[in-house]
Amino acid sequence: MLISSRENPIIKETAALVKSAAARRESRSYLAEGLRLCYDAVVSGVRPRRCFITKEADERWPAECAAIRGASFESCEIPPSVAEKLSDTVSTQGVFAVCDLPENVFSAGEDGLYVVLAGLQDPGNVGTILRTCEAMAVSGVLLCGCADEWSPKVLRASMGSLFRLRTSVFPDGFAALEALSAAGCETWASALDRDAVKLPEARFSAKCAIFIGNEGAGLPEELIKACSRTVFIPMPGRAESLNAASAAAMLIYQWSAGRC
Strands 95-100 and 50-53: antiparallel
Residue 90 contacts a second copy per CB under 8 A: no
DSSP state of 162: G
Q: What is the spatial distance between Cα 233 and Cα 216, in angstroms, rounded to a whole number?
A: 16
Torsion sign across C-alpha atoms 227, 232, 238, 242: negative
Residue 167 contacts a second copy per CB under 8 A: no
Closest among 84, 56, 51, 54 to 70, alpha carbons compared = 51
User: Minimum Å distance from CB 247 to a second copy?
Assistant: 8
Report the residue from 132, 168, 187, 190 that binds a second copy according to the rule CB under 8 A. 132
Count how many Cα atoms sit within 13 Å of the Cα of residue 31 in the half-sphere of its side chain: 28
Report the residue from 123, 160, 173, 218 that binds a second copy according to the rule CB under 8 A. 160
Q: Among the candidate windows 26-34, 56-64, 73-81, 123-131, which touches a second copy by CB under 8 A?
A: 123-131
Residue 35 contacts a second copy per CB under 8 A: no
Q: What is the spatial distance between Cα 94 and Cα 131, in angstroms, rounded to a whole number?
A: 24
Q: What is the spatial distance between Cα 13 and Cα 174, in angstroms, rounded to a whole number?
A: 35
Report the residue from 144, 157, 219, 224 that binds a second copy according to the rule CB under 8 A. 157
Residue 238 contacts a second copy per CB under 8 A: yes
Residue 128 contacts a second copy per CB under 8 A: yes
Nearer to a second copy, 53 or 199 (CB): 199
Spatial contact of 117 and 129, defined as CB atoms under 8 Å apart? yes
Q: Among the candidate windows 26-34, 80-88, 152-160, 203-211, which touches a second copy by CB under 8 A?
A: 152-160
**Backbone phi and psi for residue 50, each to the nearest 5 degrees, phi listed first:** -160, 140
Report the residue from 33, 64, 77, 134 that binds a second copy according to the rule CB under 8 A. 134
Report the residue from 137, 193, 221, 225 that binds a second copy according to the rule CB under 8 A. 137
Residue 224 contacts a second copy per CB under 8 A: no
Q: What is the spatial distance between Cα 241 and Cα 192, in angstroms, rounded to a whole number?
A: 9
Interface residues with a second copy (CB under 8 A)?
Answer: 124, 128, 131-138, 157, 159-161, 164, 198-201, 233-243, 245-250, 253-254, 256-257, 259-260
